[in-house]
Amino acid sequence: MRRSGPGAPVSGPERRLRWAVPGAGGPGPRRRVGRPSSWNRRTGARVDTGDIEAIGTGRLVLEPLAVAHADEMAGVLGDPALHAFIGGAPLSARDLRARYERLTAGCPDPAGTWWNWVIRLRAEGCLVGTVQATLTVSGSGSTTAEVAWVVGTPWQGRGIASEAARALVGRLRERGAAAVRAHVHPDHAASAAVAAAAGLSPTEHRHDGEVRWETGPVRPGARTAPGGGSGRASGPAGRVRPAPE
């Protein structure tokens, strides 16, 4: 997926927001982040984005991102191999805290909302990765969510990313997102498999060499990225562009 996030410009016909770093945090009370909803002044279209909530699955709890997660997440995301497809390098706990402070402050663009969660294994009680979504409102008033995921190397191969991504996409649909998208490197078979498991299909659209996957039927002529179909829990990052260093 792509790099972007706090401080990155808005561009494209849908004023697509640049990406935030993978991250997210805690079961417990709801935490308000950014605008109470994404909306369009002309059409009045709205998606419920006011409160970021914990999301539970059979094995996982997706906790809304908090700065306090940075120390543990620095270890989870510390393997340089996680950056093979998304670029960059692991951040120190100090740098990750600074990034999480920017993310939890909310998106500066009024047309968008950032949501980030950390993934916690219920049985082991530890953090193992992140999922994230950037919500943007198009000129027509519909809301699109772009998503990404990353699971730390020691926990890959267990279906965690697929389980988390399915839960994330389901929650976004419940909240009123008209479309959910992800951008996946064409050689990243594991990430393509997670996108497929989450209900996304590849399209003919490319951005920075990456394939756009989105909810809905496969478009004519679209080619399935290698490895798609089962779930990308084994792969590093379903790429969204992290916030700038």
Task: Return the minimum-mean-pLDDT range out of 39-48, 66-75, 149-158, 223-232.
Answer: 223-232
Q: Residue 141 has what pLDDT? A: 80
Q: What pLDDT score was predicted for residue 50?
A: 55
Q: What is the pTM of this model?
A: 0.72
Strand 143-151, strand 179-184: pairing: parallel
pLDDT tens per residue across span 133-161: 999 988 788 889 999 999 999 999 999 99
The pLDDT score that the predictor gives to residue 138 is 81
| Mean pLDDT computed over 95-114 | 92
Query: Between these two residues, 9 and 191, which has the higher pLDDT value?
Result: 191
- Looking at residues 191-208, what average pLDDT do you find? 95
* Contact by Cβ (8 Å): 188, 156: no
The CATH code of domain 31-238 reads 3.40.630.30
Q: What is the pLDDT of residues 168-183, one digit of tens each?
A: 999 999 888 999 999 9
Query: What's the rounded Cα separation, in Å, for the pair 233 and 60?
Result: 13
The confidence score (pLDDT) of residue 182 equals: 97
CA distances from 199 to 54, 98, 148, 162 (A): 21, 33, 13, 10
d(CA 119, CA 126): 8
List the beta bridge partners of residue 212.
Answer: 183
Q: Is 115 left (phi over 0), alpha (psi -120 to 50) or beta?
A: beta
Distance between CA 128 and CA 111 in Å, rounded?
31
Tokens of 226: 């290698």
State how far the Cα of 227 lies from the Cα of 176, in Å rounded to an integer.
30
Q: How far apart are CA 164 and CA 123, in angstroms?
A: 15
pLDDT at 28 > cutoff 50: no
List the chain domain ranges: 31-238
Q: What pLDDT is attached to residue 37?
A: 41
pLDDT over 70 for what percent of the chain?
Answer: 67
